[in-house]
Amino acid sequence: MNLHRVSYVVFFLAVAITVEGSVSFQDRTVTLTCPNVDEDSDLKWKKDGKSINDQKQVTLSLSDYTDKNDGLYSCTSQESAEEKTHYFYIKAKVCDGCVDLDMTLALVVVFADVLLTLVIVLAVYYCTRKNAGTAGPQRPTQARQGRAQARGPPPPDPDYQPLNPTTRSGDVYATAHRR
């Protein structure tokens, strides 16, 4: 990897580490939490630059969320003459009764599926294998005829007749070449 690509990776990791706010989804409710804000600080929530109903709490809860609620949310806190603004861009699909699938549950499902498949394979193997016992008497086999002696039956007349070399075509694929 060249240095240019490595610098992008380091930059994106640094950005991902410094993210402090949180967004959570529960059915049709989306909850935004403003990071590093004291309970007694002056806090303002905005959506696309417009103030939202004089919300002064650390969390903003949006119930009955639809795609009309998508947009850029921000929380601005006023602490000792210093103003901090944190931004949240929300574009979400929510539904009633949705279940959040975490990684451990997904791994358990995959592991259980593989284990069940192995159990089925072993059950089929043990049910279909033959019992290994003493072999019965073998009957003698007849000697086989050599390939030079074995020929097909003669062609019935008039359906099949031998080809006449004088009337046959001389094209490339008209004759069979033996190797």
**Contacts by residues 106-113 (CB-CB < 8 Å, ≥ 24 positions apart):** none
**How far is the first Cα of the chain from the last one, in angstroms, to the nearest whole number?**
55
Residue 58 in any domain: the answer is yes
**Residue 59 maps to which CATH number?**
2.60.40.10
Whether residue 40 lies inside any domain: the answer is yes
Query: Do the domain assignments include residue 49?
Result: yes
Within a domain: residue 167? no
Q: Does residue 77 have a pLDDT over 50?
A: yes
160, pLDDT greater than 80: no
Asked, for residue 127, whether it belongs to a domain, the answer is no
Per the domain annotation, does 69 fall within a domain? yes
CA distances to 49, 107, 129, 134, 140 from 137, in Å: 94, 54, 21, 9, 10
92 compared with 106, residue with greater pLDDT: 106
Domain count, the chain: 1
Q: Look up the domain containing 40 and give its range.
A: 14-90
For residue 114, what pLDDT is reported? 97
Query: What tokens does 172 get?
Result: 């490339």
Q: Does the residue 35 lie in any domain?
A: yes
pLDDT of 132 over the 60 cut: no
- Over residues 33-74, the pLDDT tens digits come to 888 776 667 788 888 888 886 667 788 888 888 888 889 988
Provide, rounded to the nearest whole percent, the portion of the chain with pLDDT above 70. 61
User: Residue 125 pLDDT more than 80?
Assistant: yes
Q: Is residue 57 part of a domain?
A: yes
Q: Is the per-residue pLDDT at 78 higher than 80?
A: no
Secondary structure class of 31 (helix, strand, coil) = strand
